[in-house]
């Protein structure tokens, strides 16, 4: 139920009286905009994540609205993310001590805003977010869908489209292992024992499906596990396998993008997990692409500020704003020998889910 449509169907079935009272449907940020301006609105990127939106044609889907038993009248007006939806209501302006002429931009969904904040706005440009969940986000000038439905095809905050692979547990896997299993908050010390000579040679695998998995398996029954342990397995091996398992999971989505003919050789990277030099190195070599870090760590917030600047006319376009405002601090390139070691390990990793898929529902 990560999308809006299933929630509406649940309400219609389990809370029919509340369902009948639906007057307006909006997402959290859109409710804030509604309170500020009185305008019932959303942007195309967030609308894409409702399952009520015809992404290719950039309009509400009459078919999906009919399935959910709602009319288009309750749906918000659609705006580009960088469009001004209105100005502050008089009472809001007075309460905040601001002018009624303050403009409010439509804004964007979290991953779309993060991609804007990292300057991922040109066709084929890529951003990887290593947060609680993990995403690989690829900007596209055209609408395209992979045959296995491994990737989301959404409208983008720059007026075009994007592909996105989202794994449900990324940095949260490391947090779970550190906090609940090792009972420590000293993540840096735990990673210090994973020296460079250990990379690409770990005999333990970790499947990062703590909450089931979205991309690329779309399987709520998938479960996490450690595989390959022996009497020689160490604390460092397990910690390393968690970091590697998340990287392999993101590689799965990258492979789906490659199957569409996309040639991705570089990517921006953001999120809390990206602060770990070790994890970033593992990821660069598992994916075998260069990873660049933006100057600001506040990807989504910075992206929202960029969209607001465009809405206020400070910049001619989202691309123009990103070109002038987004700066790279460092770039990590993969090591050919290490990338080759991880390529071999990934080919083993990708056999594990198919082998266990039928067992997961029994657990």
Q: Which residues are annotated as catalytic?
A: 110
The per-residue DSSP string of 137-197 comes to: EEEESS----TT--SEEEE-TTSSEEEEEEES-SHHHHHHIIIIIS--S-HHHHHHT--GG
- Is the distance from CB of 151 to CB of 253 less than 8 angstroms? yes
**Cα(204)–Cα(221) distance, integer angstroms:** 22
Find residue 116's DSSP bridge partners: none
Beta strands 103-105 and 84-87: pairing type?
antiparallel
**318 with 125: CB under 8 angstroms?**
no
Cα→Cα distances 349→10, 143, 246, 247, 352, Å: 36, 31, 11, 11, 5
Q: What is the residue whose two structure tokens read 């898929």?
A: 357
Q: In whole angstroms, give the CA distance from residue 2 to residue 7.
A: 8
**What pairing do the DSSP bridges indicate for beta strands 328-332 and 290-294?**
antiparallel
CA distances from 152 to 148, 175, 319 (A): 11, 26, 22
């Amino acid at each position: 139920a990560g999308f809006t449509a299933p929630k509406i169907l649940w309400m219609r079935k389990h809370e029919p009286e509340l369902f009948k009272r639906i007057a307006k449907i909006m997402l959290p940020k859109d409710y804030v905009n509604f309170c500020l301006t009185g305008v019932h609105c959303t942007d195309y990127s967030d609308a894409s994540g409702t399952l009520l939106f015809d992404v290719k044609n950039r309009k509400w889907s009459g078919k999906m609205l009919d399935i959910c038993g709602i009319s288009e009248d309750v749906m918000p007006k659609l705006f580009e993310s960088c469009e001004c939806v209105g100005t502050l209501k008089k009472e809001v302006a007075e309460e905040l001590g601001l002018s009624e002429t303050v403009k409010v931009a439509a804004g964007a969904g979290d991953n779309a805003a993060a991609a804007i904040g990292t300057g991922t706005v040109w066709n084929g440009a890529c951003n990887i977010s290593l947060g609680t969940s993990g995403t690989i986000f690829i900007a596209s000038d055209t609408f395209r869908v992979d045959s296995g439905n491994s990737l989301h095809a959404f409208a983008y905050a720059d007026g075009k489209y994007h592909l996105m692979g989202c794994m449900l547990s990324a940095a949260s896997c490391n947090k779970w292992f550190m906090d609940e299993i090792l009972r420590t908050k000293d993540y840096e010390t735990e990673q210090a024992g994973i020296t460079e000579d250990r990379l690409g040679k770990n005999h333990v695998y970790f499947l990062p499906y703590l909450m089931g998995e979205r991309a690329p398996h779309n399987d709520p029954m998938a479960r996490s596990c450690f595989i390959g342990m022996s009497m020689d397995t160490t604390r460092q091996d397990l910690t390393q396998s968690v970091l590697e398992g998340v990287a392999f999971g993101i590689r799965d989505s990258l492979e789906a993008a490659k199957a569409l003919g996309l040639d991705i050789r570089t990517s921006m990277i953001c999120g809390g997990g990206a602060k770990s030099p070790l994890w970033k190195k593992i990821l660069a070599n598992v994916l075998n692409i260069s990873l660049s870090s933006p100057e600001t760590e506040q990807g989504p917030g910075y992206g929202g500020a960029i969209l607001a600047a465009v809405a206020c006319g400070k910049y001619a376009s989202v691309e123009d704003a990103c070109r002038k405002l987004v700066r790279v601090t460092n770039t990590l390139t993969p090591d050919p020998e290490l990338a080759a070691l991880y390529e071999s390990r990934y080919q083993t990793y990708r056999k594990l889910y198919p082998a266990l898929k039928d067992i997961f529902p029994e657990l």
